Structure 1
Amino acid sequence: MDAETRSDGRGLLIVRNAASGTAVVRADPADTFAERLPKAVVLELADGEDVAGVVAEAMEMDAAPHVLGIYGGDGSVSRMAHLAREHDRPLLAMPGGTFNHFVRALGVDTVDGAIDAYEASSTVEVGVAEATADGDDPVTVLNVVSVGAYPELIEERERRSSLGKWLGGAVATAVALRHAEPLTIVRDGRRARVWSVFVSVGRNDPDQVATMQRQETDTAVLDVRIHHARGSKVRAFASLAFGKRSAAVLRAVGLFPRDADIERLVVPELELRVRPEPGHPSVFVHDGELEQRDAGGFTLRCVAVPRALTVYAPLGAR
C-alpha cells in the first residue's frame, strides 16, 4: 500500500461497535475518520449484526479491503483480530471500549494515535493464543483466557445488563460472592479444586492473579495462574483485583490470596478438563467475551502462536 493510499484511508475497512464503551463518556470518532481517513469505508454494526458477516461481505467485493480496522473494546478487537488472521490482513485497532487492554499494551491510547501509526506504516508482529473448547474451531485470544470465579462473575453481570454496567456489576459481584464454589480441573491427569485459572498471552506481572492485560507483543508462551481453593471466597474475589494499586491495598489488609495458594506456570500450551459444581455455569471468558458450554464441563486447550498477527502500533511498542 503506497503512502498516498495510507494518508486518505483508501483500502481500509473500519467497523464500529456502537455497543462498546457505553459505560464511559467517549468522543464520537466519526469526525476524526472523516477528516483523516476520508476514503476509508466505515460501517457501524447494527443490532444483532456480526462483524464476521460484515467482513466476509466486504472481502467478496471487487475492491476488497487491504486493512481491517476496528473501533471497539477488547471483545470486538479480538473478533476482528481473528478475521484479520483468517484473511491475511493487517489490523488497525482503535480504543473504543471501557478498558481497551490490548491496544493499551501496544501503546495505543487514542484513535489519533492508532491512525498516526497507520499513516506511518508502523507495525508490530503480535503473538496470540488459540483457545479450543471440546474440539470446536479455535478462537484467537489477545490477552487472557479464564475459567472459574471471573467467568461466573461475567455471566452474572450479563444477566443484569439492564441495570447498566456498573450497577449490574456491583449486583453481580454480590450474588457471585454469595454463591461461589470452587470448580474442579484436571491437568496432566492430576485433579485440583480451584477458584480460578487465568491463562495470559505471554509473560505477565508475577504479582497478579487476574492477568487481564498482556505485557508482551510477540511471544511463544502462556503465563498461567492457578488459584487453588485453599482460601476463603473473599480471597477468591479479591484475587480479581486487576490493578497493582488495588492488589497492594488488599495485600496490606490481608485479603489477597497467599502466594502458596497460587500456582504459576509458563508453558507453550495448556489443556484442562473443567468441571463446575452442579448448578454452576459451564463457561469460560476470553478477552472479556463469555463463551457458554454444555452443562457438566468441557475440555479447554490453549496454544501460544508467535508472530500470528500484524498490528499498527507506535514505534517502540513492546
Structure 2
Amino acid sequence: MEPGTVSVPPAADGRGVLIVRNAQSGTAVIRSDPAALFTERLPEAVVRELGEGDDLDAIVEEAMERGAAAPAVLGVYGGDGSVSRMAQLARRYRRPLLVLPGGTFNHFAGSAGLTDVATAIDAFQAGTTIEVSAVEVTVADGTAILALNAVSVGAYPELIDERERHRPRLGKWLGGVVAAWHALRDAEPLIVVREGRRARVWSVFVGVGRNDPRRVATMQRAHLEEPVLDVRIHHARGTRLRAIASLAFGRRTAAVLRALRLMPPRSDVERLVVSDFELTVRPGPGHPSVFVHDGELEEEPGDEFTLRCVAVPRAVTVFVPPRPGR
C-alpha cells in the first residue's frame, strides 16, 4: 500500500490539531524540550500536558465534544504506550494520528520513519499518511486494547514488573539492571495452553506484521500495513541466560548475542503467522499474573487468564514521511 493523503489537507500552522504531551515519557533519556518547536512550527495547535493522574481518554473526549471546534487531528508526544493509547482514540473518533516521538525507545515511530519531532511535523505538513494495521487484545470479556507493536507474556512482562518495583528508588535504567539480575537468578518457565495443548515456555510474543524469523522479542515491527500476527513461542528448553538474552530487540545486540551463541536455537522457538491467536496463561507460584502491550504492563487477577489477539487491518491513519521519488 502506497502512502496517501488525508481527505482534508492539514493546516500547516497546526490549526485543528490537538497534541497531548505525556510529561512522564522519555525521562530515562536526554531529549530537548519540544515546546519551542511546537510554538514555532505549529503555533495554532492546542497542546495539553498529561501529568501524573491525568486521563488521556478524558482529555480527548472533552475536546471531541466541542462540535465544529473539535480537533481534526489527534497528536501525541510520548512513548509507545502513549502512542498506542492515542491510536485507539484516533480510531474511535476516526481522526488521523500525528505521532511525535518522545519516549525512551519509540519503536512504532521508528518503524514509521518518524525519527524525531521535526520529521513528524514535516510529515504532518506534507499531509502524507498510511493506513496502519494493529492488534486488538482482550482478556476474557474485558474491553479490547489496541496495540501497534506487540503483546507479550512471560519473561518480558515479568522483567518489566520487577523493574517497576525498583523504579521509584532507582530510576528506569538502574531498575532495569536490577530486574535483569533478578531474572538471571530466579526466572522460571510458566505454563500456557493453546488449542488444548499445554507447554512450558519462557515467553510468547505476538507482533503485528511479519518480522525477522531469527528474533524472539519482536517489539519493533518491520511493516506498517500487513494485517497479520507474527507469533513467537519460546519453549523452555534452554537456560535462564538464553531466556533473558532472547529479549534483546535491537538488531545489533541480537546479532552479537547470536554470534556468542547466547540466543536460543530455532528449534526452541515456535513461529506462527495467523490472523488471530488465543492463549491461556497459568503463571503459577512465584509468577506475577501480567502481560505487556507496547510496553504497558497489565495485571490480571486470579490464577490464570486468557488472551485473545486479533489482527486489525487499516486500524488507524498515521502521518508518515513522503517516500523518496513521490
TM-score range, shorter-chain basis?
over 0.9
Question: Any conservation in 2 of the 1:281–1:295 contact (CA below 8 Å)?
Answer: no
In structure 2, distance between residues paired with 1:271 and 1:209: 18
1:32 alignment partner in structure 2:
37
Identity of aligned residues (%): 65
- The aligned amino acid for 1:292 is E
2:317 alignment partner in structure 1:
310
Matches within 5 A, 1:10-89: 10-62=15-67, 63-89=69-95
Instruction: Give how far 1:2 is off.
Output: 5.4
Question: Any conservation in 2 of the 1:82–1:140 contact (CA below 8 Å)?
Answer: yes
Find the partner of 2:104 among 79, 98, 111: 98
Task: Give a deviation string over 1:151-180, Cα, whole Å, max 9, x none.
Answer: 000000011112111111001111122221
Instruction: Give how far 1:243 is off.
Output: 1.7
In structure 2, distance between residues paired with 1:242 and 1:7: 36
Task: Give a deviation string over 1:176-207, Cα, whole Å, max 9, x none.
Answer: 22221111111111111100000000001111
2:149 alignment partner in structure 1:
143
What is the aligned-residue RMSD (CA, Å)? 1.2
Instruction: Give how far 1:316 is off.
Output: 2.8
Matches within 5 A, 1:1-318: 6-62=11-67, 63-162=69-168, 163-316=170-323
Instruction: Give how far 1:295 is off.
Output: 3.0
- The aligned amino acid for 1:141 is A
- The aligned amino acid for 2:72 is H
Question: Any conservation in 2 of the 1:6–1:118 contact (CA below 8 Å)?
Answer: no
Q: Which runs of 5+ in 1 are unaligned?
A: none
In structure 2, distance between residues paired with 1:313 and 1:247: 27
Task: Give a deviation string over 1:103-157, Cα, whole Å, max 9, x none.
Answer: 1101111111111111111000000000111221110010000000000000000
- The aligned amino acid for 2:74 is L
Question: Any conservation in 1 of the 2:78–2:103 contact (CA below 8 Å)?
Answer: yes
Question: Any conservation in 2 of the 1:9–1:39 contact (CA below 8 Å)?
Answer: yes
Q: Secondary structure at the match of 2:136?
A: strand
Task: Give a deviation string over 1:25-64, Cα, whole Å, max 9, x none.
Answer: 1011111111111111000012210111110111112311
Question: Any conservation in 1 of the 2:24–2:51 contact (CA below 8 Å)?
Answer: no
TM-score by length of 1: 0.97
Q: Which runs of 4+ in 1 moved over 3 A?
A: none
In structure 1, distance between residues paired with 2:255 and 2:48: 42
TM-score by length of 2: 0.95
- The aligned amino acid for 1:226 is I
Q: Secondary structure at the match of 1:260?
A: helix
Q: Which runs of 5+ in 2 are unaligned?
A: 1-6
Q: Secondary structure at the match of 2:71?
A: coil
In structure 2, distance between residues paired with 1:229 and 1:294: 24
Question: Any conservation in 2 of the 1:228–1:261 contact (CA below 8 Å)?
Answer: yes
Instruction: Give how far 1:255 is off.
Output: 1.6
- The aligned amino acid for 2:104 is T
- The aligned amino acid for 1:65 is P
In structure 1, distance between residues paired with 2:140 and 2:48: 34
Instruction: Give how far 1:254 is off.
Output: 2.3
Task: Give a deviation string over 1:231-261, Cα, whole Å, max 9, x none.
Answer: 1111100101112222222222222111110
- The aligned amino acid for 1:288 is G
